[in-house]
Structure 1
């Protein structure tokens, strides 16, 4: 068999480092998503992702050990790790899994904001409070993470100076969430 292709500069300095780079993007992205799955309590997906994460990592690190004298592989490994973090976070952001607690603090009267949130189908809990300098209204709502942008738009258009914070929540017992338009209905049988 002809070994000239395998021994070529292209394979040594481009192909192998490129494969290491792509492998690291994949395994670090899987790792990022796996951590999110663990934190959200997804007991099935976390170990499945962990399996592929480690399998891909083993392949990448074996190529590093096969090419210890090739400094380009080291850079590909490090760049793949950095890019994998970015890609993993982007994927996780697009998945928008879970639910969050939204706390809105307004300095002006909050009835219009409350009405707009209710009209959009969001459940709220509201109370008046005393801030450091003035009376404030505090609104709490539990929403799906995928709904954050919609709720932010309601807040920004109704009360642009409102202060709000968002926290991850692992579990809720019950809640009021907007109805899904055209839900898929599952039937037994066909």
Structure 2
């Protein structure tokens, strides 16, 4: 029975390490990814040896799989809390909402405004780069000023220079 509990605990540590390592690699954070890879490999080999050498092999395999599934949930929640990196928002507006633009700029967001042709009218697009941990605040602000805005977000992999990088370092994180 203690082996079954140990297998579950190992999976609940192993899988979040695996999840975070993968995310760190995607975000080009090589050193933390390497450290997690080392820990992950140790846990993986140790856990599998318990599963395949124990007398409870069927139950051990089931608990191993259950721990894997729960570990994915835990790893994802940890990554969402860490919110590493940046997000770019493209906000499509029916009018040039000066109040929204000014509010965002006063709160440290870099906002670039584009004017374009929509299907039936002129549209305004705001391009905003923010830290991932500030996404919810930004969305809340956009909804307050422009409830009908069409918002698309994505994670940029690389950027160089510009106004926003200098000011993001100075900006207070809530």
After TM superposition, is the score higher than 0.5?
yes
Alignment of 1:42-81 (within 5 A): 42-67=29-54, 69-81=56-68
1:134 CA displacement: 2.6
The partner residue of 1:169 within 142, 156, 159 is 156
1:20 CA displacement: 0.7
Secondary structure of 2:95's partner?
coil
Alignment of 1:21-60 (within 5 A): 21-60=8-47
What's the TM-score once normalised by structure 2's chain length?
Answer: 0.90
Alpha-carbon spacing, 1:20–1:69, altered in 2? closer, same or farther (3 Å) = closer
Matched positions, count: 169
State whether residues 87 and 130 of structure 2, in contact with CA within 8 Å, keep that contact through their aligned partners in structure 1.
yes
Equivalent in the alignment of 1:95: 82
1:73 CA displacement: 1.2
Secondary structure of 2:110's partner?
coil
Q: Which has the larger radius of gyration?
A: 1
CA RMSD of the aligned region, Å?
1.7
Secondary structure of 2:30's partner?
coil
Secondary structure of 1:19's partner?
helix
Equivalent in the alignment of 2:131: 144
1:123 CA displacement: 0.6
Unaligned runs of 5+ in 1: 1-10, 183-190
CA distance in 2, matches of 1:181, 1:141: 17
* 1:62-116 C-alpha deviation (Å, 9 max, x unpaired): 1110126542212210111101111001000111111111111112332222111
More helix by share: 2
Unaligned runs of 5+ in 2: none
State whether residues 108 and 171 of structure 2, in contact with CA within 8 Å, keep that contact through their aligned partners in structure 1.
no
Equivalent in the alignment of 1:180: 171
The partner residue of 1:116 within 103, 112, 118 is 103
CA distance in 1, matches of 2:115, 2:42: 54
